[in-house]
Amino acid sequence: MGKKARVLPGALAAIGLVAWIGATLPAAAAAPSGFQAARQLGFPSGDDWEPAVAVDGSHVYAFWMHFGQPPDCPPLTGSSHMVFQASADGGKTWGPPHSIACQPEFGADAQLAVTTLPNDVHRLYASWMQSNQANSPIFVAFSDDFGGSWSAPVNATRLDHGGSGGDKDILVARGREVWVTWEHLASNVVAHTPNIETTGFAPVSVPNPSGQVSLASGGGLDSHGNLYFTWGGVAQQGGANGPTTLWIGRSPDNGATWTTSTIDVSATAPSPSGSGWDYWGASTALAIVPRPGQATDRLVAVYNAGLSPGAPEKIFERYSDDLGASWSARQDLAPSADLVWHGFPAAVADAGGVHVTWMDNRNSGAFPTCQTDAFGSCGTWNVWYTTSADGATGWTPQVRLDGPAFSALAPHAYQSSAGFMHPYGDYMSMALDAGGHTYAVWGEGPDYAGPGSVWFTRS
């Protein structure tokens, strides 16, 4: 949220909750190749924004911010609330959306992570930002019964102990050990606990090579125990209106010390009217490819970036085989779709390769006239998917995930068989199961203000 914050339309805060829809939506007439037909999660009327997804065997989880009355938490009436929804059959049917913690005020920036504890206990973690201020607390909760019940939220920012809160949390977990990072103005913090059940989070400041407000965007652990997070540092030139430094931090000692390097630098992003601070700015998704027998894993950075100020941003990829110290040449993942809007990448990897999604409006070519607060002004958008066995070469032909037969899915005026009018939220999320199946969630809307909806598909 934060620097890419969405302004809450006053009328939407009063939207009531209606019956859940997970298992009742009809299937689309035609599903994208290799993927199930996309289905709406959440509430039929929305207003659902910026979802996260995680998978644990046949259990699939989604977590997002809902604008409106919190479910299960009377008499709270906060302007937004974090909502969770689960499937026990691989995403075929879904239970009702519900709250995992009853908190007032404002929730945003959903994150999910799955780990395994001794005795084959499966643990699901969730984190989120609870407020809409520069010093917002970041909370973490966990469930050991597939999302049926949850621990009390733990404040990772330790504001009651002199810590600093912030914006845009990224969550990484291993067993009972948890790391969460966030941005606090021009400083970046990683908080760590070796055991969330017994030990509070301890914050460590990460050197910020850009010296700018840097929003976290990705993270993970490699097979050698190195911890990584990625950030995008935006130059403050009349607001978020300068170049963006995309950078990565690595810690070999559980977050105690950090080494940073630059992945790439994006020119100043387009800034059409009607959207939040740096909503269209460059951002990096990180995937880590195990390389058995090699001294290092492969880091794959997938990001949107512009080559000249105000130009349409493209989707690029770079990889590193030396712990992020150096990076390959930039590779354009959508070379046939020039001069249109690209953004909001997500990436995941396993030993089978790298899986990537992003959004663009190549079917309308609406750059540069897009006005993000005007219904339909930004053309027609789609979600695209590609994969590579090694994260470096052999990227497969792009597959569209967001349709293609919306008329059989939902009656939203901002959707058609061609796509949808506007991304709803400035990031999407992906996950992989042990069989290499891909799970993806994203948001669609009529414009930046919404109300929009959350959508799900899997391969």
Amino acid, single-letter form, for residue 143: S
Q: Which of 122, 76, 121, 115 is nearest to 99 (CA)?
A: 76
The model's pLDDT over 311-320, given as tens digits with 9 standing for 90+, comes to: 889 999 999 9
The model's pLDDT over 144-169, given as tens digits with 9 standing for 90+, comes to: 999 999 999 999 987 554 556 778 89
pLDDT band at 7 (very low <50, low <70, confident <90, very high): very low
Tell me which of 69 and 218 has the higher pLDDT.
218
pLDDT band at 406 (very low <50, low <70, confident <90, very high): low
Question: Token pair 């993806």 is at which residue?
Answer: 440
Could you give the 3-state DSSP secondary structure of residue 77?
coil
Question: Token pair 């293609």 is at which residue?
Answer: 404
Q: What is the pLDDT of residue 326?
A: 97
Q: Are 159 and 153 contacting, i.e. CB atoms less than 8 angstroms apart?
A: no
The model's pLDDT over 196-222, given as tens digits with 9 standing for 90+, comes to: 999 999 999 999 998 888 999 999 999
CATH number for the 2-458 domain, one of 3.30.930.10, 2.120.10.10, 3.10.400.10, 3.40.190.10? 2.120.10.10
Amino acid, single-letter form, for residue 312: P
Q: Are 391 and 289 contacting, i.e. CB atoms less than 8 angstroms apart?
A: yes
CA–CA dist 432, 54 (Å, integer): 8
Neighbours of 222 (CB within 10 A): 18
pLDDT band at 336 (very low <50, low <70, confident <90, very high): confident
CA–CA dist 18, 403 (Å, integer): 25
Tell me which of 89 and 105 has the higher pLDDT.
89
Based on the number of CB atoms within 10 Å of its own CB, is 310 exposed (0-12), middle (13-18) or buried (19 or more)? middle
CA–CA dist 40, 270 (Å, integer): 30
Could you give the 3-state DSSP secondary structure of residue 11?
helix
Greatest CA separation for the chain:
57
Angle at 325 between CA 333 and CA 315, to 5 degrees: 15
Give Cα separations from 198 to 137, 141, 176, 195 (angstroms): 20, 13, 9, 6
Domain ranges of the chain: 2-458
pLDDT band at 14 (very low <50, low <70, confident <90, very high): very low
Q: What is the pLDDT of residue 159?
A: 56
The model's pLDDT over 278-293, given as tens digits with 9 standing for 90+, comes to: 899 999 999 999 999 9
The answer, yes or no, to whether residue 4 has pLDDT greater than 50, is no
Could you give the 3-state DSSP secondary structure of residue 186?
coil
The answer, yes or no, to whether residue 134 has pLDDT greater than 50, is yes
CA–CA dist 131, 108 (Å, integer): 8
